[in-house]
Amino acid sequence: MRTNSRLFRLRPLSALCRGQRRSPLSFSSRKSLWALALPALLAGCALGPDYKRPEMVVPTEYRWQDQSATGSEFGDLQWWEVYRDPQLWAILKVALQENLDVRIAAARVEQARAALGSSRLQFLPTISGEAGVTRQRTSEYARLLPDQPAIGESDTAAVNASYELDIWGRLRRLNEASRAQFLGSQYAQQGVMVGLIADVATTYFNLITLDEQLAITRNTMETRQKFVDLTHAKHKGGVISGLDVSTAESELATARANVPEIERQAALAEDRLSILLGKNPGDIVRSGVTARAELSLPQPPTGLPSSLLERRPDIRRAEQDLVAANAQVGAAKAALFPTISLTGSLGSRSNELSNLFKGPARTWTAGAGLALPLIDAQNNLYQLDLADARKREVLLTYQQAVQNAFREVADALIARQKYVEFLAAQQDKVDALRRADNIAMARYKVGYSSYFDVINSNRDLFNAELALSSAQLNALLANVQLYQALGGGWAAGKTASTADGVGQ
């Protein structure tokens, strides 16, 4: 009958300490393991490889990066330095304090902190106390000592202690993993803050753009109402036909029909922003359309790509996951070796409570225990394979997070560049159409232009103004996306209260 030799193999201790690949060791020669283990036993070796950041292929510069931009890196700026709207400042401060996702992330940090504290306690001895009173009746058929009553009492009081010697570094590796998980939870909280700032800014800019488009529509309605009144007057004078009047009224109704849809979208944006602020859906107080001063700024400097690995919370969290997975490999390796524990107790035992704490009642024990995995070794080997596979998965996830970060920065850079170019062209188009609309109306009033010249020029101007508003929004959101992609906004070492005096 064939047996699986995998059931009875362990790695040499020296290879395990260095993190080398598995080398078979037969069951019959396992007794030689102690000869290999003795040097590590004295040195207190922590099994498994120590963490080292993996080598990454980092570009020398971001794609689409503007080399002429100078100044502080965009991602290093605080959010109140990037978003220069006092209304948005107030909204962001409330969101960072009250948003439920941020508070959930904070609770997870506290959970990880408690888990880390618990893992550190494993380095200390376990001490417990016990006391008891036992009253029992001995069988009449049992042989009793002379003068021993059938019913007796036993009183005990003791303090017990046990301590695991961390010879193979299992506890150290588990503590290392817990610390990485704690740091990862902090970076996760910072990532939530970065995403929240981007979501709030995006929703706010969408909302004020809808306000602007509503104002454009109402101005257009006012202009078209005046034109309808003019066509009615000309129709009464017999200058134009009823068809011209109906066409003018149709154009007015077309503009009016846009109002309910814009108001609906604005209400949805208010509801989303309310949830981001940790409130039930409701009105968002705002005063007019925000200034777009940031659109006149030059291309923001993005800095060196290598700094992205230190600034983006999602990358740092992915790296801490890798640190934890690496430590778990060491802990799994240590589980293949014996667990050595020291135990002891000090107490008293007496048949009478009055004698419990007298010298003759004193008892004590001391000992050492060794637990060696034998049949369970196969399971431990599989646990080691599981930890190795998990580490490989987390390493690939980390590499994926880095590549995705570079892509997001490149996408945001090209988006901002092209949206700003489109915005400039759209602004020129709107300026030209406004001049054309004024000329057409003036010529129509004196009879030099046809009715359709006025209708067409006003329709083109209305659509171009709405498109200009959308172009301004896209340029704003490109800034938001770039700031988020660079990992800006979590304000290390600062709080939202820092912005209280800004702009005053």
CB neighbourhood size of 150 (10 A) = 11
C-alpha count within 13 angstroms, C-beta hemisphere, residue 240: 23
Across the range 113-130, mean pLDDT stands at: 85
Backbone angles phi, psi at 338, to 5 degrees: -65, 150
Confidence band, pLDDT 50/70/90 cuts, at residue 449: confident
Is pLDDT at 106 greater than 70 in this prediction? yes
Please tell me the distance from the alpha carbon of residue 43 to that of residue 238, in angstroms, as a whole number: 109
Confidence band, pLDDT 50/70/90 cuts, at residue 499: low
pLDDT of residue 152: 65
Across the range 382-409, mean pLDDT stands at: 92
Q: Pick the residue with more confidence: 492 or 410?
A: 410
CB neighbourhood size of 89 (10 A) = 18
Confidence band, pLDDT 50/70/90 cuts, at residue 375: low
Please tell me the distance from the alpha carbon of residue 317 to that of residue 338, in angstroms, as a whole number: 34
Question: 62 CB contacts (<8 Å, ≥6 apart)?
Answer: 302, 305, 406, 409, 410, 413
Confidence band, pLDDT 50/70/90 cuts, at residue 63: confident
pLDDT of residue 269: 94
pLDDT of residue 355: 62
Please tell me the distance from the alpha carbon of residue 276 to that of residue 418, in angstroms, as a whole number: 30
pLDDT of residue 319: 93
Question: Could you tell me if 32 and 261 are in contact, meaning their C-beta atoms sit under 8 angstroms apart?
Answer: no
Is pLDDT at 11 greater than 60 in this prediction? no
Fold assignment, 42-125+167-337+378-498: Outer membrane efflux proteins (OEP) (1.20.1600)
3-class secondary-structure state, position 134: strand
Structure tokens of 370?
A: 């060794």
| pLDDT tens, residue by residue, 150-202 | 676 677 878 888 888 888 888 889 899 999 999 999 999 999 999 999 999 99
CB neighbourhood size of 32 (10 A) = 12
Which is nearest to 444 in space by CA: 453, 436, 431, 435? 453
Torsion of CA 76, 81, 83, 86, to 10 degrees: 150
Across the range 381-410, mean pLDDT stands at: 92
pLDDT of residue 134: 78
pLDDT of residue 144: 63
Q: Which residue is listed with tokens 């996702």?
A: 101
Q: 3-state SS string over 450-499?
A: CHHHHHHHHHHHHHHHHHHHHHHHHHHHHHHHHHHHCCCCCCCCCCHHHH
Across the range 127-142, mean pLDDT stands at: 74
Which range (116-130, 159-173, 247-261, 276-290) has the least confidence?
A: 276-290
pLDDT of residue 126: 83
CA distances from 98 to 67, 93, 94, 143, 285 (A): 39, 9, 6, 75, 17
Across the range 238-243, mean pLDDT stands at: 78
pTM value?
0.78
Q: Pick the residue with more confidence: 55 or 329?
A: 329
| pLDDT tens, residue by residue, 284-316 | 887 655 545 444 455 677 677 878 888 899 999
- pLDDT averaged over the chain? 79
Q: At what angle do helices 170-236 and 313-334 cross, to 10 degrees?
A: 160
Which is nearest to 69 in space by CA: 413, 480, 415, 404? 413
| pLDDT tens, residue by residue, 463-479 | 999 999 999 999 989 98
Question: Could you tell me if 401 and 414 are in contact, meaning their C-beta atoms sit under 8 angstroms apart?
Answer: no
* Extents of the domains making up the chain: 42-125+167-337+378-498
Across the range 206-212, mean pLDDT stands at: 91
Share of the chain above pLDDT 90, in %: 34
Q: Classify residue 449 by burial, with Cβ atoms within 10 Å: 0-12, 13-18, 19+.
A: middle
DSSP state for residue 139 in the 8-state scheme: -
